[in-house]
Amino acid sequence: MQIEIHLDPDSKDQFSETEEGNSPHHQFSLKSFIDITKKLKLDLLLRYVDNLPNQNIPNYTTMDAQISYKIMKNFEFSIVGQNLFDDLHPEFSPEITVLSPSGSEIERSIYAKLTWEL
């Protein structure tokens, strides 16, 4: 993504030109959905986001993973891991986003879930 903002000389806009460094130039994601068996599946998401120079946010790569087991027709158990490559990593400046408990950094998380569909 390449953003170039040019203001008219008589513009009173004080914020638009700073937006150029608030978006990554490069980013990509790769998703994989694998049915290991009829009851067991593995979903993976790999993401890369380039640095945000105006916010002093470095580039990062992260992975989310979910392994699910279908216990019965309408009932599934899953273990999910998010942001698996780092304990913490910044994604946005504190001035731009609502702060999480750890400040502006996104934490690694691992949890289990049960899904029941009607």
Domain map of the chain by residue range? 26-116
Sequential pLDDT tens for the chain (118 residues): 666 777 777 877 766 666 666 778 889 999 999 999 999 999 999 999 998 887 888 899 999 999 999 999 999 999 999 999 988 888 876 655 444 444 578 889 999 999 999 8
Pairing type for strands 88-90 and 105-107 reads antiparallel
**3 by DSSP, 3-state: which?**
coil
pTM (predicted TM-score): 0.74
Supply φ then ψ for residue 20, to 5 degrees.
-60, -35
Cα–Cα distance measured from residue 107 to residue 38, given in angstroms and rounded to the nearest whole number: 32
